[in-house]
Amino acid sequence: MKTSTVVWGLVLTCAAASSAWSQSLGDIAKKEEERRKAIVAAAKVYTNNDLHPVPVSTPDQPVQPADVGAAGAEKPADAVPKADAKAAEPSIDQGEDVWRKQMNDARELRARSDTYLEALRTRLEALTNQFYAQSDPAVQSAIGAQRNRVAEDMERLRKDMADQDAAIAKIEADAQKANIPPGWIR
């Protein structure tokens, strides 16, 4: 008899609590309705179109070897006047420091590009793994877009690396043409 009393007590308590809950829930609904009517202007809803994409940054590119003046001072590419075209001819008069700096700058730029390419490969691999592990199509689409941007950055970097290799080859050819000792550009 004691068990049935406890059970009936629990049933009555739950019934009383639910009726009290529904009354307060009704009050809350009325208050929310009044609050919504009091709002004059609609709230701004932000979408992905409102957000500005963050560009993938590339490493800063130092001045190309052709942009280094006779004294070794760096100049912007468009600051070199056309009259100095003959002065830009490679010569042994530039000195060992200038030739060594040109080659070192070109090689450092190429080494940075190698490091950046490896980072992009790692990122692309991680995004590919996430893409295939994801079951939500919306998230998979976002990951796919990121993957495409990284792949485009890799392609752009590969083209830059080909230009950097050509710049190194040009310095070597210019040094040979100017009869520069090979030790100056090693």
Residue 81 has pLDDT above 80, yes or no: no
- Is residue 106 within 8 Å of 170, Cβ to Cβ? no
What pLDDT does 102 receive? 85
What pLDDT does 101 receive? 86
pLDDT single digits (tens) 121-140 = 999 999 999 999 988 889 88
Q: Which pLDDT band holds residue 89 (cuts at 50, 70, 90)?
A: low
- pLDDT over 90, % of the chain: 23
Q: How far apart are CA 186 and CA 179, in angstroms?
A: 14
Residue spans of the domains in the chain: they are 94-186
Identify the residue with better confidence: 36 or 121. Answer: 121
Identify the residue with better confidence: 65 or 186. Answer: 186
89 secondary structure, DSSP code: S
- Reduced DSSP (H G I as helix, E B as strand, rest coil) percent helix, strand, coil of the chain, to 5: 75, 0, 25
46 phi, psi to nearest 5 deg: -90, 135
What pLDDT does 48 receive? 75
What pLDDT does 61 receive? 57
Prediction pTM value: 0.47
Residue 34 has pLDDT above 90, yes or no: no
Which whole number is the average pLDDT over 78-90?
Answer: 47
- Is residue 153 within 8 Å of 69, Cβ to Cβ? no
* Architecture of the domain delimited by 94-186: Orthogonal Bundle (1.10)
Identify the residue with better confidence: 6 or 32. Answer: 32
What pLDDT does 171 receive? 84
Q: Which pLDDT band holds residue 73 (cuts at 50, 70, 90)?
A: very low
